[in-house]
Amino acid sequence: MSLEDSPADAPENTGGAALNPKNSAFNYFEGSPEEKALGLFSIVGAEGSFSEEDVQRIPRELALRIYDGMLTVRVVDRRMMALQRQGRISFYGEALGQEAAVVGSAAALNAEDWLVPALREAGAGLYHGLPLAKYLAQIFGNAADVTKGRQMPCHPCDRDTNYVVMSSVVSTQIMHAVGIAMGMKLQGHSGRMCIGYMGDGGTSEPDFHTALNFAGVMQPPVVLVCQNNQWAISTPGSSQTASQTIAVKGLGYGVESLRADGNDALAVYEVTRYAAEKARRGDGPTFIELLTYRVSAHSSSDDPSRYRDESITLEWRERRDPLQRMLGFLTAQGWLDVAGAAAREVALEEKVRELIQAQEGVPMPSLESLFDDVFEAPTWLLDEQRESLLAEDRS
């Protein structure tokens, strides 16, 4: 199957037309609401082409930082999947093929902004400052894990960088993001914003519609990002919605809605930056659809070959890889060469290996810690249960 036949280009329902009526990609932002929600903003095309005019605004340092962030996701995911297969961690969900959407969007955030992830945005947290050691501690569920081993793996959180723990119940986190932004608004718009993520499957949940409606009416400084990876476990986009695009749903709620190529890190950065700056100015919410593809399985517990045509996946893996596209851009600009990229990857592999070794050596949380944090002051009943459990453990 050719790429032209693949879901992104000829979708049954969710793809929409690749509509970019103006010369420069940046004129996209001056389009009508419908043009923005039905079009597909890109800077570096699938074949690696870009216009000099469009990339003028992308500083070298930022482009390299985004590339490193994407490489971090790729390397960490690869190692974590290997660990899961070796039985050293229990579960993992990759973001393979979605690194541009994850990191390009995080690159538009300021340190004081808040981030509310869905399933695949740990890499956004890492880019935003969540320490990798903390992330790994959470995956191992060891004594260094701030959630004391009580969450499933891939549910990190970090108070220092305003990274809120993922709520596993699909779409509940969209409400949390809107609520946090509403709090910012009530505090008087101090130039902060909140970004909230979801998947394409999440847009079929009632919470999505409640959150968008509330955001449209109350105008909090929120940016809601849908990573449309065209699958929700085994449900394809064509069974998810009859809407022409996912972005266009936002217009019904009076929310400006943008749509970009989610495998083009620079396009993702630009749409998110536009929306984040708007939010910080107090000019209201934005909904963004990032069109990408879930190259990996849904999680380490899933086998997609049982329900989808993996030849399409192969096309995305080999011809639409976001890291290769970004590297092509950096190489064309003379900012990085292939040898330099390989050296960065080797150095990252080494760093990740060392951090894994350190975290694997940290003991598990104590049995006693199970009773922490239930009440501010433990009740007599809880004390009794703790004593009983510890006595049993000793015997």
Find the binding residues for ligand TPP in span 212-241 (CB under 6 A). Answer: 229, 231-233
Contact residues: Mg ion, CB under 5 A: 199-200, 229, 232
Q: Which of 74, 155, 192, 294 is catalytic?
A: 294
Does residue 202 touch ligand TPP according to CB under 6 A?
yes
Does residue 6 touch ligand TPP according to CB under 6 A?
no
Does residue 168 touch ligand TPP according to CB under 6 A?
yes
Q: Which of 58, 107, 119, 247 binds ligand TPP (CB under 6 A)?
A: 119
Q: Which of 79, 176, 294, 320 binds ligand TPP (CB under 6 A)?
A: 294
Q: How far is the CB of 323 from Mg ion (least distance, A)?
A: 20
- Closest residue to ligand TPP, Cβ-based? 199
For residues 102 and 193, which CB has a smaller minimum distance to Mg ion in the complex? 102
- C-alpha dihedral sign at 326, 203, 154, 77: negative
**Measured at the alpha carbon of residue 110, what is the angle toward residues 208 and 60, in degrees to the nearest 5?**
115
d(CA 15, CA 20): 14
- C-alpha dihedral sign at 9, 12, 14, 19: positive
202 binds, among ligand TPP, Mg ion, none (CB under 5 to 8 A by kind): ligand TPP
- Residue identified by tokens 């984040």 is 276
Q: Is 341 helix (H, G, I), strand (E, B) or coil?
A: helix
Cβ count near 239 (within 10 Å): 12
Residues 6+ apart with CB under 8 A from 241: 13, 14, 200, 203, 204, 249
Q: Is 298 a catalytic residue?
A: yes
Q: How far is the CB of 122 from Mg ion (least distance, A)?
A: 16
Find the binding residues for ligand TPP in span 32-91 (CB under 6 A). Answer: none
Burial pattern 293-317, b for ≥16 Cβ within 10 A else e, equals bbbbbbbbebebeeeeeeebbebbb
Of 80-88, 125-133, 198-206, 356-364: span binding ligand TPP (CB under 6 A): 198-206
d(CA 153, CA 136): 9
Q: Is 307 a catalytic residue?
A: yes
Q: Which of 307, 317, 325, 344 is catalytic?
A: 307
The residue ranges that bind ligand TPP (CB under 6 A) are 119-120, 168-170, 199-202, 229, 231-233, 294, 298
